[in-house]
Amino acid sequence: TQLLEQSPQFLSIQEGENLTVYCNSSSVFSSLQWYRQEPGEGPVLLVTVVTGGEVKKLKRLTFQFGDARKDSSLHITAAQPGDTGLYLCAGVRSGGSNYKLTFGKGTLLTVNP
């Protein structure tokens, strides 16, 4: 059973569209991170959310941590081709080892010009 379920798995949209990617779990997390990975490179951290209900914005990207700290979402406004990549959520499970970061399988986003 995957601890963190990401949906959708694949997403192909046109430039200028909005989209939302979800990261869900039945477990509570002390923190959740979002990474973006481009082909041939390692993941790069976008944001960390730690408080239930927290909302963080990074330019056109909005990240939200669920009130119960079991889920998170990433919303992109007016997507651009440069947003193309694999988006990964990762969490430190509440009550578990703080050194174990568990990743979801990712959402592969393609933004077409």
Q: Which stretch binds another protein (CB under 8 A): 12-20, 41-49, 56-64, 67-75?
A: 41-49
1 binds another protein per the rule CB under 8 A: no
Quick one: 77 or 110, whose CB is closer to another protein? 110
102 binds another protein per the rule CB under 8 A: yes
Q: Ramachandran region of residue 3, left (φ > 0), alpha (ψ -120 to 50) or beta? A: alpha
25, 70, 104, 109: which one contacts another protein (CB under 8 A)?
A: 104
55 binds another protein per the rule CB under 8 A: no
Q: Which stretch binds another protein (CB under 8 A): 11-19, 39-47, 56-64, 72-80?
A: 39-47
Closest distance between another protein and the C-beta of residue 78, in Å?
Answer: 27
Q: What is the 3-state secondary structure (H, E, C) of the chain?
A: CCCCEEECCEEEEECCCCEEEEEECCCCEEEEEEEEECCCCCCEEEEEECCCCCEEEECCEEEEECCCCCEEEEEECCCCHHHCEEEEEEEEECCCCCCCEEECCCEEEEEEC
Contact positions vs another protein (CB under 8 A) = 2, 31, 33, 40-45, 48, 88, 90, 92, 97-106
